[in-house]
Amino acid sequence: MVGLSGQTKLCPLCSAQLKKMEEISCEECGRPNLGAPAEGTCHDCVRWKKVAPWDTKAFHHRALYYYDPFIQEVLTALKYRGDVALGELFSPDLKSLGKKIGSFDFVTYIPLKEGRHWERGFNQAEVLARSFAAKPLVERVGVSSNKQSKRTREERILAMKNAFVLSVEGRKENYSGKRILIVDDIYTTGATLRSAASLFYEAGAEFVAAVTVARAVGSKARKKMK
Amino acid sequence: MRFYPIKMKAIIHSANSGNNQFFPHITEKAKEEDSWLLPEFPPYEMEKKLLNDPPPLNHDDSLLAPFLQTTPKPIIRLHDTNWYFPPPNEQFTPNPNMETYLKNRRLLIDELPFSHGEIHQHVAHGWAAYEPGITPRGRGHHCNRCGNTDPSLFANFQCFRCKDDCVYCRSCLMMGKVTGCSPLVTWKGVSGKIFSETKKHVMAWDGTLSLFQQKASDKLCTCISNFLQGKNERDHFLIWACCGSGKTEMLFHGIKLALNSGVKVLIATPRTDVVLELEPRFKQAFPDTVIHAFYGGAKERFAQGELVISTTHQLLRFHRAFDLVIIDEVDAFPYTADKKLRYAVSQARRERALTVFVTATPDDTMKREAEKGLMECAKVARRYHRHPLPEPALHWIGQWKKGLGRRRLPSKVVAFVKKHLQGNKQIFLFVPSVRVMEEVEASLKKVVDVTVGAVHSADEERREKVMAFRKGEIRVLVTTTILERGVTVKGVQVGVLGAEDRIFTESALVQIAGRAGRSPDEPTGEVIYFHHGKTNEMVKALKHIKRMNALGEEELLKEKRGGGK
Ligand SMILES: [Zn+2]
Ligand SMILES: [Zn+2]
Ligand SMILES: [Zn+2]
């Protein structure tokens, strides 16, 4: 069971169990370095660079922790059990992580579809973005992300294409030459974040980056970590 | 979620409200100033057209329109008005599936596989009703599902359902989230009994009760039959049964009596282990009775049963459901858990109900109430095998902690272990903490050459280790108080190292001593409290056991003289 000590911080016991992202091997997606020599840009990011807008635009992502069974338990308690207080634990750390990347003109988060949002009663990404002056600039359209975790990489990328539009509020802003940061809970393939990021590039943004709580690493890589 | 609180005055005088599935089918006995709660339906229900007619949000009725034009409010903010719920409409056929879910329960909308439109339709026809999930209390809150009032166990969040800052209960979160805007739904319908009240329940158990069990069983049966006839003076009954007296069998006759009178029976306990142990025994004893066991991880969560076995947590879903409530091992958990269990029981029992506590170690309050006659009590002083309980010995071992830091066990403890290993016995060694457990395990391994095991509550291999101890593969098991009850091993000898620690209360020490001499083949065993300073709790535990033995002796004598019954 994940506990809270005091009002806002992770208790030392929980925090000792979290695996912090320290060394990174891919400058773009923040893939962790797991002993292999640094690649500069990883295989996945090289593949993305063949598709617009990534042939000309940069993508940048950093996570706080590796996605492992412990953080999975914390995020499950947040998302599915609705223990919102847990999300607020990570928000200040995400803000510091964002600062390390640079300064931003807009901060937003990955939205939920309205039905899902009602079911859950809140949006975990919005909770995580609490420490920022984040705005709901993006809106979800098309297929819901229902069983995303069960899809293959290709299926996910296809499903995520055109999954977002700028929201009513988002359409009021001018993104030309601006820097935008997007917050979400988990980075899996990056398809979700890249899909939302491409909206801002289409609207003239100069740079779009993302921060998440946890980054999934492939099963091979996970074995190496042990 | 939010509701439009509409004054009944407007509904009573409105011409077309009664023909609408969103308003009460009848306004009988409604006061004009009472409120009717019209939900703001979830947007996805509107999208999917789950509602037959759109809700009357643009109602042209001039009396209702002003209410519908206001902003709906989260249910927690409506507690200052009286809510009107009509009596059940006999012309309306309720969804039987919904009745199975809701009858005798109180559930969140999220736990129900029905649209809110359909649920509200049942409310409008008087078959269901809403209650607030959380109500303000003083400066804080009260969770109506679990009784939590601890401010540190509530948290706030920006809620999409009520578009406002909303509170939720962290104490019962495992059962689904109760928020300030969550209604709890209850069933109001009376007809349509799920079980026949004239059904005959057969008891397949045909074992014999010991003299002591028989007496307790008879007393319980008398109490239950008085209760069934409305003649009981007290509605609490305590079975104070020493460890190893066979308490489950004592309950069978009373339960049979209750079931055959058509009342619903609950057995509640804080421990999942106990639920899992009791379920097959009761199913075997009552083969024709509908029995359901509820615990975290159980597949069936909403079935209706004639006999229900449940953990404290799962009990929170029941509401005014049981006539006979039996609470097993009420003292097995610390005070807070106990408080939760009591709240859960107070909600799950019918207004008129009989509560039976079964325990080897009642707390002081319960003992006092039993002595004063405020609670009926049956004492079971002897084990099933009729031998007395092994009485603990107290051995002073000085500053054992110092030696242990250097991996040296007190010589008295080493001698105790070695003596029994030579006699080919197994040993249970209780210690006050996980740290001490680790140190004792390491120190023991240096002085004995048998398999030594160690367990604590968070040990993932707990079950495997207990199994290995039962099989005799592990000869010495060092344990924290987690194994103070439940584990029975033939011929085991028992030691408590550091018995002066606060964790060893009278109840813990009595339970620990109760591990020894369980088997009729080896009804004796040594129990030693190794300590650095005698405590009150140790003295009380010793007294407790001696008294039980004396009482048992007395009753056996009475039996010999022929006055046993
Ligand atoms: Zn990469
Ligand atoms: Zn609660
Ligand atoms: Zn709310």
Going by pLDDT thresholds of 50, 70 and 90, the confidence category of residue B99 is: very high
Lowest mean pLDDT among A175-184, B338-347, B352-361: B338-347
Question: Quick one: A43 exposed, middle or buried, by C-beta within 10 A (0-12, 13-18, 19+)?
Answer: exposed
More confident residue, B356 or B339: B356
Of the candidates A81, A118, A127, the beta carbon closest to that of B42 is on A118
Nearest CA in chain A to B171: A83
Mean pLDDT for B395-415 is: 93
Closest among B412, B456, B423, B451 to B437, alpha carbons compared: B456
More confident residue, A13 or A118: A118
Q: What is the pLDDT of residue B487?
A: 78
Is the predicted pLDDT of residue A12 greater than 70, yes or no?
no
Which helix (H) or strand (E) is B184 found in, with range? Answer: strand B183-187
List of chain B residues whose C-beta atoms are within 8 Å of the C-beta of residue A82: 168, 173, 177
| Greatest pairwise CA separation for chain A in angstroms | 48
Q: What is the pLDDT of residue B354?
A: 96
Tokens representing residue A111 in the block: 């939205």
Query: Is the Cβ of A126 closer than 8 Å to some Cβ of chain B?
Result: yes
Going by pLDDT thresholds of 50, 70 and 90, the confidence category of residue B62 is: low
Query: Is the Cβ of A127 closer than 8 Å to some Cβ of chain B?
Result: yes
Q: A53 preceded by cis ω (within 30°)?
A: yes
Q: Which ligand is nearest to the CA of A122?
A: 3
List of chain A residues whose C-beta atoms are within 8 Å of the C-beta of residue B177: 81-82, 121
Contact A193, A44 (CB under 8 A): no
Phi, psi (deg, nearest 5) at residue B407 = 60, 35
CATH architecture classification, B393-552: 3-Layer(aba) Sandwich (3.40)
Query: Is the Cβ of A120 closer than 8 Å to some Cβ of chain B?
Result: yes
Q: How far is A20 from chain B (nearest CA, A)?
A: 24
Q: Buried (b) or exposed (e) across B250-268, using 16+ Cβ within 10 A?
A: bbbbbbbbbbbbbbbbbbb
Distance CA B244, CA B360 (A): 9
Distance of CA B346 to the CA centre of its chain: 11
Closest among B514, B508, B536, B488 to B331, alpha carbons compared: B508
Lowest mean pLDDT among A217-221, B57-61, B299-303: B57-61
Q: What is the pLDDT of residue A69?
A: 86
Two domains, one topology: B211-380 and B393-552:
yes
Distance CA B338, CA B335 (A): 5
Distance of CA B277 to the CA centre of its chain: 15
Going by pLDDT thresholds of 50, 70 and 90, the confidence category of residue B484 is: confident
For testing contact with chain A, the best of B160, B163, B164, B460 (most A CBs within 10 A) = B160
Residue B397 CA to ligand 3 center (angstroms) comes to 59
Contact between chains at B44 and A118 (C-beta distance less than 8 A): yes
Is the predicted pLDDT of residue B54 greater than 80, yes or no?
no
Mean pLDDT for B547-551 is: 94
More confident residue, A36 or A112: A112
Q: What is the pLDDT of residue B564?
A: 44
Query: Is the Cβ of B550 closer than 8 Å to some Cβ of chain A?
Result: no
Is the predicted pLDDT of residue B45 greater than 60, yes or no?
yes
List of chain A residues whose C-beta atoms are within 8 Å of the C-beta of residue B42: 115, 118
Q: Which of B116-130, B187-201, B482-496 has the highest mean predicted lDDT (pLDDT)?
A: B116-130
Per residue in A155-178, pLDDT (tens digit) is: 767 667 778 999 999 999 999 999
Mean pLDDT for B314-336 is: 84
Q: What is the pLDDT of residue B388?
A: 94
More confident residue, A4 or A124: A124
List of chain A residues whose C-beta atoms are within 8 Å of the C-beta of residue B166: 121
Going by pLDDT thresholds of 50, 70 and 90, the confidence category of residue A141 is: confident
Closest among A109, A91, A102, A101 to A170, alpha carbons compared: A109
Mean pLDDT for B319-324 is: 94
Going by pLDDT thresholds of 50, 70 and 90, the confidence category of residue A4 is: very low
Contact A218, A43 (CB under 8 A): no
Contact between chains at B47 and A118 (C-beta distance less than 8 A): no
Q: List B240's β-bridge partners, or say none.
A: B359, B379
Nearest CA in chain A to B167: A84
Going by pLDDT thresholds of 50, 70 and 90, the confidence category of residue B440 is: very high
List of chain A residues whose C-beta atoms are within 8 Å of the C-beta of residue B155: 83-85
Residue B341 CA to ligand 2 center (angstroms) comes to 12
More confident residue, A194 or A142: A194
Of the candidates B43, B170, B173, the beta carbon closest to that of A118 is on B43
Is the predicted pLDDT of residue B511 greater than 70, yes or no?
yes
Going by pLDDT thresholds of 50, 70 and 90, the confidence category of residue B417 is: very high
Strands B154-159 and B164-169, how do they pair? Answer: antiparallel
Q: What is the pLDDT of residue B47?
A: 56
Q: What is the pLDDT of residue B255?
A: 97
Q: Which ligand is nearest to the CA of B162?
A: 3
Q: What Cα–Cα distance (Å) separates residue B296 from each residue in A103, A196, B300, B312, B353?
A: 47, 39, 10, 10, 26
For testing contact with chain B, the best of A73, A79, A83, A146 (most B CBs within 10 A) = A83
Contact between chains at B174 and A83 (C-beta distance less than 8 A): no
Lowest mean pLDDT among A32-46, B24-38, B272-286, B321-335: A32-46
Strands B35-39 and B307-311, how do they pair? Answer: unpaired
Q: What is the pLDDT of residue B69?
A: 76
Q: What is the pLDDT of residue B270?
A: 82
What residues does each domain of chain B span? 3-187, 211-380, 393-552
Is the predicted pLDDT of residue B379 greater than 60, yes or no?
yes
Distance CA A93, CA A212 (A): 10
Q: What is the pLDDT of residue B194?
A: 57
Contact between chains at A115 and B110 (C-beta distance less than 8 A): no
Q: What is the pLDDT of residue B21?
A: 76
Contact between chains at B173 and A114 (C-beta distance less than 8 A): no
Q: What is the pLDDT of residue B61?
A: 62
Query: Is the Cβ of A124 closer than 8 Å to some Cβ of chain B?
Result: no
The residue behind tokens 């083969």 is B287
Amino acid at B562: G
Could you please state the CATH topology (level 3) that the domain comprising B211-380 is classified under. Answer: Rossmann fold (3.40.50)
Q: Please count the other Cβ atoms lying within 10 Å of the Cβ belonging to residue A68.
A: 17
Residues 6+ apart with CB under 8 A from A33: A23, A24, A25
Residue A5 CA to ligand 2 center (angstroms) comes to 20
List of chain B residues whose C-beta atoms are within 8 Å of the C-beta of residue A85: 155, 157, 170
Average pLDDT, chain B: 89
Distance CA B110, CA B178 (A): 10
Query: Is the Cβ of A3 closer than 8 Å to some Cβ of chain B?
Result: no
Q: Which ligand is nearest to the CA of B167?
A: 3
Residue B297 CA to ligand 3 center (angstroms) comes to 27
Residue B294 CA to ligand 3 center (angstroms) comes to 29
Q: What is the pLDDT of residue A17?
A: 73
Number of CB pairs, chain A paired with chain B, less than 8 A apart: 45
For testing contact with chain A, the best of B47, B175, B177, B457 (most A CBs within 10 A) = B177
Q: Which of A8-12, B22-26, B193-197 has the highest mean predicted lDDT (pLDDT)?
A: B22-26
Where does residue A142 fall: left (phi above 0), alpha (psi -120 to 50 degrees), or beta otherwise? left
Is the predicted pLDDT of residue B175 greater than 70, yes or no?
yes
Q: What is the pLDDT of residue A1?
A: 34
Q: How far is A86 from chain B (nearest CA, A)?
A: 10
Residue B181 CA to ligand 3 center (angstroms) comes to 4
Contact B162, B129 (CB under 8 A): no
Q: What Cα–Cα distance (Å) separates residue B452 from each residue in B426, B469, B479?
A: 10, 9, 11
Per residue in B206-260, pLDDT (tens digit) is: 999 998 999 999 999 999 999 999 988 889 999 999 998 989 999 999 999 999 9
Question: Which chain residues have CB less than 5 Å from ligand 3, an ion?
Answer: B 159, 161-162, 166, 179, 181
Contact between chains at B155 and A83 (C-beta distance less than 8 A): yes
Mean pLDDT for B266-280 is: 88
Lowest mean pLDDT among A103-107, A180-184, B80-84: B80-84
Of the candidates B44, B47, B173, the beta carbon closest to that of A83 is on B173
Q: Percentage of chain B surpassing pLDDT 90?
A: 64
Q: List B448's β-bridge partners, or say none.
A: none
Is the predicted pLDDT of residue B337 greater than 80, yes or no?
no
Distance CA B496, CA B217 (A): 34
Q: Which ligand is nearest to the CA of B2?
A: 3
Is the predicted pLDDT of residue B52 greater than 90, yes or no?
no
Restricting to A residues 90-109, those with a Cβ less than 8 Å away from any Cβ of B are: none
Q: What is the pLDDT of residue A52?
A: 85
Contact B317, B268 (CB under 8 A): no
Mean pLDDT for B155-177 is: 93
List of chain B residues whose C-beta atoms are within 8 Å of the C-beta of residue A118: 42-44, 160-161
Of the candidates B155, B158, B160, the beta carbon closest to that of A118 is on B160
Going by pLDDT thresholds of 50, 70 and 90, the confidence category of residue B199 is: confident
Q: pTM for this structure?
A: 0.83
Query: Is the Cβ of B158 closer than 8 Å to some Cβ of chain A?
Result: yes
Going by pLDDT thresholds of 50, 70 and 90, the confidence category of residue B330 is: confident
Mean pLDDT for A205-217 is: 93
Q: What is the pLDDT of residue B168?
A: 97
Query: Is the Cβ of A73 closer than 8 Å to some Cβ of chain B?
Result: no
Q: Which ligand is nearest to the CA of B153?
A: 2
> What's the N-to-C CA distance of chain A in angstroms?
22
Mean pLDDT for B87-107 is: 92
Is the predicted pLDDT of residue A221 greater than 70, yes or no?
no
Of the candidates B43, B159, B170, the beta carbon closest to that of A121 is on B159
Is the predicted pLDDT of residue B191 greater than 80, yes or no?
no
Under CATH, to which class is A20-32+39-225 assigned? alpha beta
Contact between chains at A121 and B43 (C-beta distance less than 8 A): no
